[in-house]
Amino acid sequence: LYALAPLRALLPEHAEVLDGLDLGPALALTVEAGRAVAALRDNDPGPARALPWHAPEALRCHVPPPLLAELALAAADAGDADARAVLDEVPGLRRWLQRLADRPGPLAPSAAARLAVLPARPGYDVHVRMLGGLTVERTDGVAVDEARTGRTRVRQLLGALVVRGRISRAELAARLWPDLPAEKAAANLRANLRHLQAALQPDRPADEPPWFVQGAGDAIALADEGITVDVHRFDDHVDRAVQAEGAGLPSVALVEYQAALTEYHGDLLPGLDDAEVEVERVRLASLAHAARCRVGELVLARGEPEAALREAAAALRLEPLSERAHRLFVRAHLAVGSTAQARTVGRALVATLAAEGLRPDDETAALLRRIQVDIT
């Protein structure tokens, strides 16, 4: 389905077939976008201007970024503000504009002009680590000014960009300074954003737009390229692990869970008092605990109880009341022949739950009865 727009745009021999298909509104719009690209190549911007830029979700879903950039640029040149907003958010925009600027055609001058005001990617990348504490590193080995990145509001600003993604300046200012008038909050945001930009790009000329934290209209966001965040890498690995499990590929899932856990070094931005960060902190901690338990279950299933013991102990450090981790601990002890230790773990769990006014769930209770641990 993602290929429909390129097929219609670039293979005219298939145009009649694609135009005649009854695809439903979303995919019909995709074919229409391909038809608009073909028209642009014939110096006709009319179909590009006619696309529904005020509601671009289907275009973003089904039109590849290079073609979407071409269409949005043509419509923006014709004065469509909605198309201009879509153009600003095309992933990898600099790359696609460079292609258009290098290709002879009516869009080349406009693409070159927009390239001139886009931020230039520095000669180094930035790695941001937030799990277990904030560290910011440049790939060229130059130290980042920790006096700037260590400021509480700068940490909150980075946290908001990671948690929310693209966020409006007004919303961000109101969230960080809810008790201040809008003008004062906006001034504070500008000051802290300058601290962040100066830490990430200290040598950036004053007249050059920043790269790593970019603005588009009233919104700001981390760049699509050149800056990586451990939170995003952690989430990506967990997502791929879940997909692998759904596809019946436990060995692939195990590798992805283990990769996720190499990113998780502790709580998200520990010590930072921020409501949204706290919600994200709890989410990530729960995922890390679940991943640790799942790694233990998978290695136990393939006959490695010693490794499962390590994973169970690590999971319990993350969540001492976790019945899932305790069950893994018990089963791993049984697998290495330590029935007495399994009972010790079971009795400790019963006592811990009782102290919290809780009782073991059905699965835990069945396991404890199996090893003759009293749960009453």
Beta strand 126-129 with 135-138: parallel, antiparallel or unpaired? antiparallel
pLDDT in the model for residue 338? 93
Q: What is the spatial order of strands in the sheet that 167-168 belongs to?
A: 167-168, 219-222, 213-216
pLDDT band at 252 (very low <50, low <70, confident <90, very high): very high
pLDDT at 196 over 80: yes
In degrees to the nearest 10, what's the CA dihedral of 146, 151, 155, 160?
A: -140
Q: What is the pLDDT of residues 349-364, one digit of tens each?
A: 999 999 999 999 999 9
Helix locations, 247-274, DSSP H: 250-263
Helix locations, the chain, DSSP H: 4-10, 15-19, 25-41, 46-50, 57-62, 65-77, 81-88, 93-102, 108-117, 146-149, 152-164, 169-176, 182-200, 230-246, 250-263, 275-301, 305-318, 323-335, 339-355, 362-370
Query: How far apart are the C-alpha atoms of 342 and 333, rounded to whole Å?
Result: 5
pLDDT (mean) for 319-337? 95
Please check whether residue 285 is in contact with residue 291, taking contact to mean a CB–CB distance below 8 angstroms: no
pLDDT band at 208 (very low <50, low <70, confident <90, very high): confident
304 by Cβ neighbours in 10 Å (0-12 / 13-18 / 19+) ranks as middle
List the one residue out of 67, 60, 16 whose CA is nearest residue 40: 67
pLDDT at 299 over 70: yes
pLDDT at 278 over 80: yes
pLDDT at 7 over 80: no
136 forms beta bridges with 128
pLDDT band at 245 (very low <50, low <70, confident <90, very high): very high
Count of Cβ atoms closer than 10 Å to residue 44 Cβ = 14
pLDDT in the model for residue 205? 84
List the one residue out of 43, 12, 51 whose CA is nearest residue 107: 43
pLDDT in the model for residue 13? 74
Q: What is the pLDDT of residues 137-164, one digit of tens each?
A: 999 999 999 999 999 999 999 999 998 8
Q: What is the pLDDT of residues 74-105, one digit of tens each?
A: 999 988 999 998 998 888 888 899 999 999 98
**Percent of the chain clearing pLDDT 90 (strictly above):** 68
pLDDT band at 33 (very low <50, low <70, confident <90, very high): confident
Question: Which of 27-31, 53-57, 331-335 has the highest mean predicted lDDT (pLDDT)?
Answer: 331-335
pLDDT (mean) for 195-215? 89
Q: Share the mean pLDDT of the chain.
A: 91
pLDDT in the model for residue 1? 63
pLDDT in the model for residue 194? 93
pLDDT in the model for residue 2? 63
DSSP code for 143: P
Structure-token pair, residue 178:
């809810």
